Chain A
Amino acid sequence: MNNKISIHNLCLSIDRQPILKNVSLNIPTNKITVILGPSGCGKTTLLKSLNRLTDLIPGVQQSGEIMLDGVNILNGNQDLVDIRQKMGLLAQRPYPLPMNIYKNITYGLRISGRRNRQFLDKRVEHYLKMVNLWDEVKDRLKDPASALSIGQQQRLCLARGLAVDPEIILADEPTSSLDPISSKLIEEKFLELKSQYTIVLVTHILRQARRMADYVVFMYLGEVIEQGTPDELFNNPQHPVTKSYLSGQFY
Protein backbone atom coordinates (compact mmCIF):
# COMPACT_ATOMS: atom_id res chain seq x y z
CA MET A 1 0.00 0.00 0.00
CA ASN A 2 1.23 3.45 -0.97
CA ASN A 3 1.29 5.97 1.87
CA LYS A 4 0.56 9.64 1.27
CA ILE A 5 1.36 10.59 4.83
CA SER A 6 3.21 8.68 7.46
CA ILE A 7 3.50 9.88 11.01
CA HIS A 8 6.25 8.72 13.34
CA ASN A 9 6.21 9.30 17.08
CA LEU A 10 4.25 12.51 16.91
CA CYS A 11 3.98 14.10 20.34
CA LEU A 12 2.08 17.29 20.93
CA SER A 13 1.56 19.15 24.17
CA ILE A 14 -0.24 22.35 25.07
CA ASP A 15 1.15 24.22 28.07
CA ARG A 16 3.14 21.06 28.93
CA GLN A 17 -0.07 19.03 28.97
CA PRO A 18 0.38 16.08 26.59
CA ILE A 19 -2.42 15.91 24.01
CA LEU A 20 -0.96 13.52 21.45
CA LYS A 21 1.34 10.79 22.75
CA ASN A 22 3.69 9.02 20.40
CA VAL A 23 1.29 8.80 17.53
CA SER A 24 2.52 6.69 14.62
CA LEU A 25 0.33 5.86 11.66
CA ASN A 26 0.19 5.66 7.91
CA ILE A 27 -2.37 7.32 5.69
CA PRO A 28 -2.73 5.44 2.39
CA THR A 29 -3.01 7.28 -0.92
CA ASN A 30 -6.44 7.53 -2.57
CA LYS A 31 -8.16 5.85 0.34
CA ILE A 32 -10.44 7.02 3.10
CA THR A 33 -8.71 6.81 6.44
CA VAL A 34 -11.16 7.11 9.29
CA ILE A 35 -10.05 8.33 12.70
CA LEU A 36 -12.31 7.08 15.46
CA GLY A 37 -12.30 7.76 19.13
CA PRO A 38 -14.19 9.20 22.06
CA SER A 39 -14.61 12.92 22.54
CA GLY A 40 -11.48 14.75 23.62
CA CYS A 41 -9.07 12.01 22.58
CA GLY A 42 -7.20 14.30 20.19
CA LYS A 43 -8.74 13.58 16.80
CA THR A 44 -9.13 17.22 15.80
CA THR A 45 -5.67 18.02 17.10
CA LEU A 46 -4.15 15.20 15.07
CA LEU A 47 -5.97 16.36 11.95
CA LYS A 48 -4.86 19.96 12.41
CA SER A 49 -1.28 18.95 13.02
CA LEU A 50 -1.26 17.50 9.49
CA ASN A 51 -1.50 20.95 7.94
CA ARG A 52 0.28 22.64 10.82
CA LEU A 53 -2.75 24.58 12.04
CA THR A 54 -1.66 23.40 15.47
CA ASP A 55 1.14 25.98 15.17
CA LEU A 56 -1.47 28.59 16.05
CA ILE A 57 -2.26 27.18 19.47
CA PRO A 58 -0.55 29.24 22.16
CA GLY A 59 1.82 27.17 24.25
CA VAL A 60 2.07 24.29 21.81
CA GLN A 61 5.05 21.97 21.52
CA GLN A 62 5.39 19.35 18.82
CA SER A 63 7.96 16.68 18.15
CA GLY A 64 8.25 13.66 15.91
CA GLU A 65 7.89 13.33 12.16
CA ILE A 66 5.07 13.88 9.72
CA MET A 67 6.21 12.68 6.30
CA LEU A 68 4.20 14.07 3.40
CA ASP A 69 5.27 12.48 0.12
CA GLY A 70 8.48 11.51 1.85
CA VAL A 71 9.30 14.98 3.20
CA ASN A 72 9.11 15.82 6.88
CA ILE A 73 6.75 18.78 7.25
CA LEU A 74 7.31 19.23 10.95
CA ASN A 75 10.79 20.65 10.70
CA GLY A 76 10.97 24.40 10.47
CA ASN A 77 12.13 25.11 6.94
CA GLN A 78 8.97 24.02 5.17
CA ASP A 79 6.76 26.51 3.39
CA LEU A 80 3.48 26.45 5.29
CA VAL A 81 1.51 27.87 2.38
CA ASP A 82 2.66 24.99 0.16
CA ILE A 83 1.79 22.39 2.77
CA ARG A 84 -1.61 23.86 3.45
CA GLN A 85 -2.54 24.19 -0.20
CA LYS A 86 -1.94 20.47 -0.56
CA MET A 87 -4.71 19.84 1.97
CA GLY A 88 -8.28 20.98 2.02
CA LEU A 89 -9.74 21.24 5.51
CA LEU A 90 -13.39 20.68 6.21
CA ALA A 91 -14.11 21.72 9.77
CA GLN A 92 -16.58 20.40 12.30
CA ARG A 93 -18.88 23.31 11.57
CA PRO A 94 -18.90 25.33 8.36
CA TYR A 95 -17.19 28.71 8.60
CA PRO A 96 -17.87 30.62 5.40
CA LEU A 97 -15.45 33.51 4.91
CA PRO A 98 -17.04 36.96 5.35
CA MET A 99 -17.56 37.51 1.63
CA ASN A 100 -19.91 36.36 -1.09
CA ILE A 101 -20.30 32.82 -2.41
CA TYR A 102 -18.22 33.43 -5.50
CA LYS A 103 -15.38 34.96 -3.51
CA ASN A 104 -15.48 32.15 -0.98
CA ILE A 105 -14.79 29.61 -3.71
CA THR A 106 -12.13 31.69 -5.40
CA TYR A 107 -10.43 32.86 -2.21
CA GLY A 108 -7.58 30.36 -2.31
CA LEU A 109 -7.00 30.99 -6.00
CA ARG A 110 -7.05 34.76 -5.72
CA ILE A 111 -4.71 34.60 -2.73
CA SER A 112 -2.19 32.75 -4.85
CA GLY A 113 -2.42 35.38 -7.55
CA ARG A 114 -4.82 33.84 -10.06
CA ARG A 115 -7.18 36.62 -11.07
CA ASN A 116 -8.29 35.75 -14.57
CA ARG A 117 -12.02 36.22 -14.54
CA GLN A 118 -12.90 33.46 -16.99
CA PHE A 119 -10.65 30.98 -15.27
CA LEU A 120 -12.22 31.80 -11.90
CA ASP A 121 -15.75 31.61 -13.31
CA LYS A 122 -15.03 28.18 -14.69
CA ARG A 123 -13.54 26.97 -11.44
CA VAL A 124 -16.50 28.21 -9.43
CA GLU A 125 -18.96 26.41 -11.66
CA HIS A 126 -16.88 23.25 -11.73
CA TYR A 127 -16.46 22.92 -7.99
CA LEU A 128 -19.97 24.00 -7.11
CA LYS A 129 -21.24 21.31 -9.45
CA MET A 130 -18.87 18.84 -7.90
CA VAL A 131 -20.51 19.32 -4.49
CA ASN A 132 -24.03 19.51 -5.94
CA LEU A 133 -24.50 23.11 -4.95
CA TRP A 134 -24.48 24.78 -8.36
CA ASP A 135 -28.18 24.55 -9.09
CA GLU A 136 -29.07 25.96 -5.69
CA VAL A 137 -26.79 29.00 -5.82
CA LYS A 138 -26.01 29.75 -9.45
CA ASP A 139 -28.34 32.75 -9.47
CA ARG A 140 -27.00 34.26 -6.29
CA LEU A 141 -23.25 33.89 -6.40
CA LYS A 142 -22.95 37.49 -5.22
CA ASP A 143 -24.93 36.86 -2.03
CA PRO A 144 -23.06 36.64 1.26
CA ALA A 145 -22.15 33.02 1.97
CA SER A 146 -23.58 33.34 5.46
CA ALA A 147 -27.05 33.50 3.90
CA LEU A 148 -26.85 29.82 2.96
CA SER A 149 -28.24 27.04 5.09
CA ILE A 150 -25.80 25.10 7.26
CA GLY A 151 -25.84 22.13 4.92
CA GLN A 152 -25.24 24.36 1.93
CA GLN A 153 -22.46 26.13 3.81
CA GLN A 154 -20.74 22.83 4.53
CA ARG A 155 -20.85 21.91 0.85
CA LEU A 156 -19.58 25.40 0.01
CA CYS A 157 -16.67 24.88 2.38
CA LEU A 158 -15.90 21.57 0.70
CA ALA A 159 -15.96 23.23 -2.72
CA ARG A 160 -13.79 26.05 -1.39
CA GLY A 161 -11.23 23.54 -0.15
CA LEU A 162 -11.30 21.54 -3.39
CA ALA A 163 -10.87 24.68 -5.48
CA VAL A 164 -7.24 25.13 -4.41
CA ASP A 165 -6.60 21.71 -5.96
CA PRO A 166 -5.39 19.85 -2.89
CA GLU A 167 -4.16 16.27 -2.85
CA ILE A 168 -5.56 15.50 0.57
CA ILE A 169 -8.91 16.24 2.16
CA LEU A 170 -8.95 16.57 5.93
CA ALA A 171 -12.50 16.30 7.19
CA ASP A 172 -13.33 16.81 10.85
CA GLU A 173 -16.74 15.33 11.54
CA PRO A 174 -17.97 16.98 8.37
CA THR A 175 -21.53 15.80 8.84
CA SER A 176 -21.94 16.49 12.55
CA SER A 177 -23.95 19.66 12.05
CA LEU A 178 -25.90 18.42 9.06
CA ASP A 179 -29.31 16.90 8.52
CA PRO A 180 -29.44 13.27 7.28
CA ILE A 181 -29.91 14.21 3.64
CA SER A 182 -27.02 16.68 3.57
CA SER A 183 -24.91 14.12 5.44
CA LYS A 184 -25.67 11.51 2.84
CA LEU A 185 -24.71 13.93 0.06
CA ILE A 186 -21.36 14.60 1.69
CA GLU A 187 -20.71 10.93 2.31
CA GLU A 188 -21.47 10.02 -1.29
CA LYS A 189 -19.25 12.84 -2.45
CA PHE A 190 -16.36 11.50 -0.40
CA LEU A 191 -16.72 7.99 -1.80
CA GLU A 192 -16.64 9.54 -5.25
CA LEU A 193 -13.69 11.81 -4.48
CA LYS A 194 -11.40 9.17 -3.11
CA SER A 195 -10.27 8.09 -6.55
CA GLN A 196 -8.60 11.50 -6.90
CA TYR A 197 -7.84 12.48 -3.33
CA THR A 198 -6.47 11.02 -0.16
CA ILE A 199 -9.11 11.51 2.50
CA VAL A 200 -8.72 11.63 6.27
CA LEU A 201 -12.08 11.56 7.98
CA VAL A 202 -12.68 12.10 11.67
CA THR A 203 -15.99 10.81 12.86
CA HIS A 204 -17.98 9.91 15.93
CA ILE A 205 -20.47 7.84 14.05
CA LEU A 206 -19.57 4.17 13.96
CA ARG A 207 -21.95 3.38 11.15
CA GLN A 208 -20.50 6.17 9.06
CA ALA A 209 -17.04 4.78 9.70
CA ARG A 210 -18.15 1.32 8.56
CA ARG A 211 -19.69 2.77 5.42
CA MET A 212 -16.74 4.87 4.44
CA ALA A 213 -13.50 3.48 5.79
CA ASP A 214 -10.70 1.82 3.87
CA TYR A 215 -8.43 2.13 6.85
CA VAL A 216 -9.38 2.76 10.46
CA VAL A 217 -7.42 4.38 13.27
CA PHE A 218 -8.73 4.17 16.81
CA MET A 219 -7.55 6.79 19.29
CA TYR A 220 -7.95 6.97 23.02
CA LEU A 221 -6.60 9.65 25.40
CA GLY A 222 -4.14 10.99 22.86
CA GLU A 223 -2.78 7.63 21.78
CA VAL A 224 -3.38 5.48 18.75
CA ILE A 225 -4.55 2.26 20.34
CA GLU A 226 -5.25 0.27 17.26
CA GLN A 227 -5.21 0.66 13.49
CA GLY A 228 -6.01 -1.57 10.56
CA THR A 229 -8.45 -2.37 7.80
CA PRO A 230 -12.13 -2.04 8.68
CA ASP A 231 -12.42 -5.79 8.67
CA GLU A 232 -9.62 -6.20 11.19
CA LEU A 233 -10.71 -3.40 13.43
CA PHE A 234 -14.47 -3.73 13.39
CA ASN A 235 -14.78 -7.50 13.31
CA ASN A 236 -11.77 -8.53 15.30
CA PRO A 237 -10.57 -5.75 17.58
CA GLN A 238 -7.51 -6.70 19.63
CA HIS A 239 -7.42 -4.09 22.34
CA PRO A 240 -9.99 -4.22 25.17
CA VAL A 241 -10.65 -0.46 24.95
CA THR A 242 -11.44 -0.75 21.25
CA LYS A 243 -13.75 -3.64 22.00
CA SER A 244 -15.73 -1.78 24.59
CA TYR A 245 -15.88 1.38 22.39
CA LEU A 246 -17.16 -0.60 19.43
CA SER A 247 -19.76 -2.31 21.56
CA GLY A 248 -21.03 1.11 22.56
CA GLN A 249 -19.96 1.12 26.18
CA PHE A 250 -18.65 4.68 25.93
CA TYR A 251 -18.53 7.45 23.37
Chain B
Amino acid sequence: MKHIRLTRYRKWRNVFHQSWMMIALLAMLFIPLVLVAGLIMKSMLLLENHPLFELLFSSDWSPLSSRFGFLPFIVSSLWITILSLLISAPVCLLTAIHLTQYAKRWVLRIMHPVIDILAGIPSVIFGVWGILVIVPFISHQLGPLFGKSVSGYSILAGAFVLSIMIIPFMLNMLIDIIKAVPNELQEASLSLGASKWQTIKFVVVRKALPGIVSSFGLGMSRAFGETIAVLMVVGNVTRIPTGVFQPGYPLPALIANNYGEMLSIPLYDSALMLAALILFLVVLMFNVFSRFLILKAETH
Protein backbone atom coordinates (compact mmCIF):
# COMPACT_ATOMS: atom_id res chain seq x y z
CA MET B 1 0.00 0.00 0.00
CA LYS B 2 2.68 2.41 1.06
CA HIS B 3 4.72 1.39 -1.93
CA ILE B 4 1.93 2.14 -4.32
CA ARG B 5 1.37 5.52 -2.79
CA LEU B 6 5.06 6.26 -3.16
CA THR B 7 5.19 5.37 -6.84
CA ARG B 8 2.07 7.36 -7.45
CA TYR B 9 3.67 10.29 -5.68
CA ARG B 10 6.77 9.94 -7.83
CA LYS B 11 4.68 9.79 -10.94
CA TRP B 12 2.83 12.96 -10.02
CA ARG B 13 6.02 14.71 -9.11
CA ASN B 14 7.34 13.80 -12.51
CA VAL B 15 4.25 15.07 -14.23
CA PHE B 16 4.46 18.23 -12.20
CA HIS B 17 8.08 18.89 -13.12
CA GLN B 18 7.53 18.12 -16.74
CA SER B 19 4.47 20.26 -16.89
CA TRP B 20 6.02 23.42 -15.57
CA MET B 21 8.82 23.13 -18.07
CA MET B 22 6.17 22.64 -20.68
CA ILE B 23 4.40 25.75 -19.48
CA ALA B 24 7.58 27.79 -19.71
CA LEU B 25 8.10 26.54 -23.22
CA LEU B 26 4.54 27.27 -24.23
CA ALA B 27 4.73 30.75 -22.75
CA MET B 28 7.86 31.39 -24.75
CA LEU B 29 6.13 30.35 -27.94
CA PHE B 30 2.82 31.88 -26.95
CA ILE B 31 3.99 35.42 -26.31
CA PRO B 32 5.21 36.10 -29.85
CA LEU B 33 2.01 34.60 -31.18
CA VAL B 34 -0.08 36.86 -28.98
CA LEU B 35 2.10 39.71 -30.09
CA VAL B 36 1.52 39.04 -33.78
CA ALA B 37 -2.17 38.45 -33.23
CA GLY B 38 -2.39 41.76 -31.39
CA LEU B 39 -0.54 43.58 -34.15
CA ILE B 40 -2.77 42.06 -36.81
CA MET B 41 -5.93 42.91 -34.89
CA LYS B 42 -4.87 46.46 -34.29
CA SER B 43 -3.78 47.04 -37.86
CA MET B 44 -7.04 45.59 -39.18
CA LEU B 45 -8.71 48.96 -38.82
CA LEU B 46 -6.31 50.52 -41.30
CA LEU B 47 -6.31 47.50 -43.60
CA GLU B 48 -10.11 47.63 -43.79
CA ASN B 49 -10.02 51.25 -44.87
CA HIS B 50 -7.10 51.13 -47.27
CA PRO B 51 -5.97 48.43 -49.69
CA LEU B 52 -2.67 46.87 -48.67
CA PHE B 53 -1.11 47.61 -52.03
CA GLU B 54 -1.74 51.31 -51.63
CA LEU B 55 -0.33 51.26 -48.11
CA LEU B 56 2.87 49.56 -49.18
CA PHE B 57 3.51 51.39 -52.43
CA SER B 58 2.23 54.88 -51.89
CA SER B 59 4.67 57.52 -50.75
CA ASP B 60 2.07 59.92 -49.47
CA TRP B 61 2.26 59.98 -45.68
CA SER B 62 -0.11 62.51 -44.15
CA PRO B 63 -1.85 60.90 -41.21
CA LEU B 64 -3.90 63.98 -40.42
CA SER B 65 -5.63 63.77 -43.77
CA SER B 66 -5.66 60.01 -43.32
CA ARG B 67 -3.29 59.09 -46.13
CA PHE B 68 -0.87 56.37 -45.14
CA GLY B 69 1.83 55.51 -47.65
CA PHE B 70 4.56 53.42 -46.06
CA LEU B 71 6.91 53.48 -49.01
CA PRO B 72 9.30 56.17 -47.65
CA PHE B 73 9.79 54.19 -44.46
CA ILE B 74 10.20 50.86 -46.17
CA VAL B 75 12.63 52.30 -48.68
CA SER B 76 14.61 54.05 -45.94
CA SER B 77 14.83 50.85 -43.94
CA LEU B 78 15.99 48.85 -46.95
CA TRP B 79 18.56 51.48 -47.96
CA ILE B 80 20.06 51.63 -44.50
CA THR B 81 20.04 47.89 -43.99
CA ILE B 82 21.58 47.02 -47.34
CA LEU B 83 24.11 49.82 -47.16
CA SER B 84 25.19 48.82 -43.67
CA LEU B 85 25.58 45.24 -44.81
CA LEU B 86 27.64 46.36 -47.81
CA ILE B 87 29.95 48.20 -45.42
CA SER B 88 30.16 45.58 -42.70
CA ALA B 89 30.08 42.29 -44.61
CA PRO B 90 33.47 42.58 -46.35
CA VAL B 91 35.08 43.98 -43.21
CA CYS B 92 33.70 41.11 -41.12
CA LEU B 93 34.60 38.40 -43.59
CA LEU B 94 38.16 39.62 -44.07
CA THR B 95 38.65 40.14 -40.34
CA ALA B 96 37.30 36.69 -39.56
CA ILE B 97 39.58 35.13 -42.19
CA HIS B 98 42.54 37.04 -40.86
CA LEU B 99 41.85 36.12 -37.24
CA THR B 100 41.27 32.45 -37.93
CA GLN B 101 43.82 31.81 -40.70
CA TYR B 102 46.66 34.27 -40.39
CA ALA B 103 46.78 35.84 -36.94
CA LYS B 104 48.78 34.44 -34.07
CA ARG B 105 46.79 32.36 -31.59
CA TRP B 106 46.96 34.95 -28.83
CA VAL B 107 45.42 37.61 -31.06
CA LEU B 108 42.27 35.56 -31.46
CA ARG B 109 42.30 34.72 -27.78
CA ILE B 110 42.31 38.43 -26.95
CA MET B 111 39.91 39.42 -29.70
CA HIS B 112 37.17 37.01 -28.71
CA PRO B 113 36.25 38.74 -25.42
CA VAL B 114 36.87 42.16 -26.99
CA ILE B 115 34.33 41.40 -29.70
CA ASP B 116 31.89 40.16 -27.08
CA ILE B 117 32.24 43.40 -25.16
CA LEU B 118 31.74 45.45 -28.34
CA ALA B 119 28.61 43.45 -29.06
CA GLY B 120 27.26 44.32 -25.63
CA ILE B 121 27.58 48.12 -25.87
CA PRO B 122 24.12 49.72 -25.57
CA SER B 123 22.94 51.05 -28.88
CA VAL B 124 22.23 54.55 -27.57
CA ILE B 125 25.96 54.96 -27.10
CA PHE B 126 26.55 54.19 -30.75
CA GLY B 127 23.87 56.79 -31.49
CA VAL B 128 25.66 59.45 -29.47
CA TRP B 129 28.93 58.53 -31.12
CA GLY B 130 27.19 58.83 -34.48
CA ILE B 131 26.00 62.33 -33.68
CA LEU B 132 29.37 63.43 -32.35
CA VAL B 133 31.59 61.84 -34.99
CA ILE B 134 29.83 60.43 -38.03
CA VAL B 135 27.31 63.19 -38.68
CA PRO B 136 29.91 66.01 -38.60
CA PHE B 137 32.29 63.87 -40.64
CA ILE B 138 29.68 63.44 -43.36
CA SER B 139 28.67 67.07 -43.17
CA HIS B 140 32.19 68.56 -43.22
CA GLN B 141 34.32 66.03 -45.04
CA LEU B 142 32.49 63.39 -47.01
CA GLY B 143 29.66 65.61 -48.30
CA PRO B 144 31.94 68.38 -49.65
CA LEU B 145 34.15 65.70 -51.16
CA PHE B 146 31.21 64.74 -53.36
CA GLY B 147 30.28 68.38 -53.88
CA LYS B 148 27.27 68.29 -51.61
CA SER B 149 26.28 70.57 -48.82
CA VAL B 150 24.49 68.36 -46.34
CA SER B 151 23.54 68.33 -42.69
CA GLY B 152 25.11 64.95 -42.18
CA TYR B 153 21.93 63.44 -40.76
CA SER B 154 21.46 60.90 -43.48
CA ILE B 155 20.99 57.35 -44.69
CA LEU B 156 24.76 57.07 -44.85
CA ALA B 157 25.17 58.10 -41.21
CA GLY B 158 22.57 55.54 -40.19
CA ALA B 159 24.26 52.86 -42.24
CA PHE B 160 27.67 53.71 -40.79
CA VAL B 161 26.46 53.53 -37.21
CA LEU B 162 24.55 50.35 -37.93
CA SER B 163 27.47 48.64 -39.58
CA ILE B 164 29.69 49.41 -36.60
CA MET B 165 26.99 47.90 -34.40
CA ILE B 166 26.47 44.70 -36.35
CA ILE B 167 30.16 44.04 -37.05
CA PRO B 168 30.86 42.44 -33.65
CA PHE B 169 27.59 40.52 -33.86
CA MET B 170 28.41 39.01 -37.26
CA LEU B 171 32.13 38.71 -36.59
CA ASN B 172 31.55 36.40 -33.66
CA MET B 173 29.41 34.11 -35.76
CA LEU B 174 31.80 34.19 -38.70
CA ILE B 175 34.80 33.29 -36.56
CA ASP B 176 33.00 30.24 -35.21
CA ILE B 177 31.78 29.25 -38.66
CA ILE B 178 35.21 29.51 -40.29
CA LYS B 179 36.93 27.81 -37.37
CA ALA B 180 34.55 24.88 -37.81
CA VAL B 181 35.98 24.08 -41.25
CA PRO B 182 38.07 20.95 -40.64
CA ASN B 183 41.84 21.40 -40.73
CA GLU B 184 42.15 18.25 -42.78
CA LEU B 185 40.24 19.89 -45.60
CA GLN B 186 42.79 22.67 -45.75
CA GLU B 187 45.58 20.12 -45.60
CA ALA B 188 44.01 18.27 -48.50
CA SER B 189 43.92 21.43 -50.57
CA LEU B 190 47.46 22.46 -49.64
CA SER B 191 48.85 19.02 -50.36
CA LEU B 192 47.41 19.26 -53.86
CA GLY B 193 49.65 22.25 -54.40
CA ALA B 194 47.24 25.07 -53.64
CA SER B 195 48.59 28.21 -52.02
CA LYS B 196 47.19 29.36 -48.73
CA TRP B 197 45.08 32.04 -50.34
CA GLN B 198 43.73 29.63 -52.96
CA THR B 199 42.87 27.23 -50.17
CA ILE B 200 40.99 29.91 -48.30
CA LYS B 201 39.14 31.07 -51.40
CA PHE B 202 38.22 27.74 -52.94
CA VAL B 203 37.92 25.49 -49.91
CA VAL B 204 37.51 27.31 -46.60
CA VAL B 205 35.13 30.02 -47.76
CA ARG B 206 33.37 27.61 -50.09
CA LYS B 207 32.82 25.14 -47.29
CA ALA B 208 31.67 27.83 -44.89
CA LEU B 209 29.53 29.63 -47.46
CA PRO B 210 26.07 28.67 -46.18
CA GLY B 211 27.12 29.72 -42.70
CA ILE B 212 28.61 32.96 -43.99
CA VAL B 213 25.47 33.84 -45.91
CA SER B 214 23.25 33.08 -42.97
CA SER B 215 25.35 35.13 -40.57
CA PHE B 216 24.92 38.03 -42.99
CA GLY B 217 21.20 37.31 -42.96
CA LEU B 218 21.09 37.42 -39.17
CA GLY B 219 23.13 40.62 -39.25
CA MET B 220 20.62 42.08 -41.67
CA SER B 221 17.68 41.21 -39.50
CA ARG B 222 19.49 42.81 -36.58
CA ALA B 223 20.12 45.93 -38.68
CA PHE B 224 16.57 46.11 -39.99
CA GLY B 225 15.10 46.22 -36.52
CA GLU B 226 17.68 48.46 -34.81
CA THR B 227 15.93 51.58 -33.58
CA ILE B 228 17.58 54.06 -31.28
CA ALA B 229 21.05 54.43 -32.76
CA VAL B 230 19.68 54.85 -36.26
CA LEU B 231 16.90 57.17 -35.22
CA MET B 232 19.44 59.52 -33.68
CA VAL B 233 21.47 60.06 -36.84
CA VAL B 234 19.20 59.42 -39.77
CA GLY B 235 17.31 62.72 -39.87
CA ASN B 236 13.76 61.36 -39.75
CA VAL B 237 12.35 63.12 -42.78
CA THR B 238 9.35 61.52 -44.44
CA ARG B 239 10.47 61.39 -48.04
CA ILE B 240 11.77 58.64 -50.25
CA PRO B 241 15.55 59.09 -50.12
CA THR B 242 17.18 59.19 -53.53
CA GLY B 243 20.77 59.30 -52.38
CA VAL B 244 22.84 58.20 -49.43
CA PHE B 245 23.46 61.77 -48.27
CA GLN B 246 19.74 62.40 -47.86
CA PRO B 247 17.90 61.92 -44.62
CA GLY B 248 15.59 58.96 -44.28
CA TYR B 249 13.00 57.64 -41.89
CA PRO B 250 13.19 53.92 -41.20
CA LEU B 251 10.26 51.89 -39.87
CA PRO B 252 11.49 51.37 -36.29
CA ALA B 253 12.11 55.11 -35.95
CA LEU B 254 8.60 55.83 -37.19
CA ILE B 255 7.12 53.69 -34.44
CA ALA B 256 9.43 54.90 -31.69
CA ASN B 257 8.99 58.57 -32.54
CA ASN B 258 5.25 58.63 -32.87
CA TYR B 259 3.69 55.96 -30.79
CA GLY B 260 1.62 57.39 -27.98
CA GLU B 261 1.50 60.87 -29.46
CA MET B 262 -1.56 60.93 -31.59
CA LEU B 263 -3.59 58.09 -30.29
CA SER B 264 -6.67 60.25 -30.65
CA ILE B 265 -6.56 59.40 -34.32
CA PRO B 266 -7.47 55.69 -34.38
CA LEU B 267 -6.24 55.18 -37.94
CA TYR B 268 -2.85 56.61 -37.07
CA ASP B 269 -2.57 54.27 -34.15
CA SER B 270 -3.48 51.41 -36.44
CA ALA B 271 -0.92 52.55 -39.03
CA LEU B 272 1.87 52.38 -36.47
CA MET B 273 0.75 48.87 -35.59
CA LEU B 274 0.95 47.92 -39.23
CA ALA B 275 4.46 49.35 -39.35
CA ALA B 276 5.36 47.14 -36.41
CA LEU B 277 3.80 44.16 -38.12
CA ILE B 278 5.77 44.75 -41.31
CA LEU B 279 8.94 45.11 -39.27
CA PHE B 280 8.24 41.92 -37.42
CA LEU B 281 7.51 39.94 -40.55
CA VAL B 282 10.57 41.16 -42.42
CA VAL B 283 12.89 40.38 -39.51
CA LEU B 284 11.22 37.01 -39.08
CA MET B 285 11.77 36.29 -42.77
CA PHE B 286 15.48 37.14 -42.62
CA ASN B 287 15.85 34.99 -39.53
CA VAL B 288 14.00 31.98 -40.81
CA PHE B 289 15.87 32.10 -44.10
CA SER B 290 19.25 32.32 -42.37
CA ARG B 291 18.52 29.54 -39.91
CA PHE B 292 17.25 27.40 -42.73
CA LEU B 293 20.57 27.85 -44.52
CA ILE B 294 22.51 26.89 -41.40
CA LEU B 295 20.34 23.84 -40.94
CA LYS B 296 20.82 22.79 -44.53
CA ALA B 297 24.58 23.23 -44.25
CA GLU B 298 24.69 21.17 -41.07
CA THR B 299 22.78 18.24 -42.49
CA HIS B 300 25.07 18.10 -45.51
Contact = CB atoms under 8 A, between A and B. Distances in A.
B192 A85 contact: yes
A161 B187 contact: no
A34 B195 CA distance: 29
A220 interface: no
A54 B159 CA distance: 44
Contacts of B182: 95
Nearest to B104: A58
Count class of interface residues, chain A? 20 to 34
Contact of B191 (A53, A59, A98, A99): A53
A164 B193 contact: yes
B299 to A, nearest CB: 11
Given A81-B194, A81-B195, A87-B191, 8 more contacts: A48-B187, A89-B188, A91-B187, A98-B203, A107-B189, A157-B188, A160-B188, A161-B191
A123 to B, nearest CB: 13
Nearest to B101: A56
B192 A161 contact: yes
A96 to B, nearest CB: 8
Interface string A35-66: 00000000000001001010010110000000
Interface in B75-108: 104-105
Contact of A107 (B105, B183, B192, B195): B192
B183 A88 contact: no
Contact of A97 (B104, B105, B185, B195): B185
Contacts of A48: 187
A125 to B, nearest CB: 19
Nearest to A91: B184
Contact of A91 (B104, B188, B193): B188
Interface of B: 104-105, 182-195, 198, 202-203, 206-207, 300
Contacts of B206: 97-99
A111 interface: yes
A160 B185 CA distance: 13
A93 B192 contact: no
Contacts of A157: 188
Interface of A: 48, 51, 53, 56, 58-59, 80-82, 84-85, 87-89, 91, 93, 95, 97-99, 107-108, 111-112, 144, 146, 157, 160-161, 164, 170
Nearest to B204: A98
Contacts of A56: 183, 186-187, 190
Contacts of B184: 91, 93, 95
A89 B189 contact: no
What is the predominant secondary structure among interface residues of chain B facing chain A?
Answer: helix
Nearest to A81: B193
Most buried by A among B184, B187, B191: B191
B193 A89 contact: no
Contacts of A82: 193
B191 A58 contact: no
Nearest to A98: B207
B214 to A, nearest CB: 16
Contacts of A58: 104-105
A145 B182 CA distance: 16
B192 A53 contact: no
Contacts of B191: 51, 53, 84, 87-89, 161, 170
6 contacts: A81-B194, A91-B184, A95-B188, A97-B185, A97-B202, A146-B300
A23 to B, nearest CB: 20
B3 to A, nearest CB: 51
A25 B258 CA distance: 80
Contacts of A87: 191
Contacts of B194: 81, 107-108, 111
Contacts of B193: 81-82, 84-85, 108, 111-112, 164
A29 B202 CA distance: 33
A106 B182 CA distance: 21
Contacts of A88: 191-192
Contacts of A80: 190
Given A98-B203, A107-B194, A53 B187 contact: yes
> Ordered nearest first, which 9 A-B pairs have the shortest CB separation?
A108-B192, A85-B193, A89-B191, A98-B207, A95-B184, A111-B194, A98-B206, A95-B188, A95-B185
Most buried by B among A48, A107, A108: A107
A99 B188 CA distance: 13
B275 to A, nearest CB: 42
Given A93-B184, A95-B182, A97-B185, A164 B300 contact: no
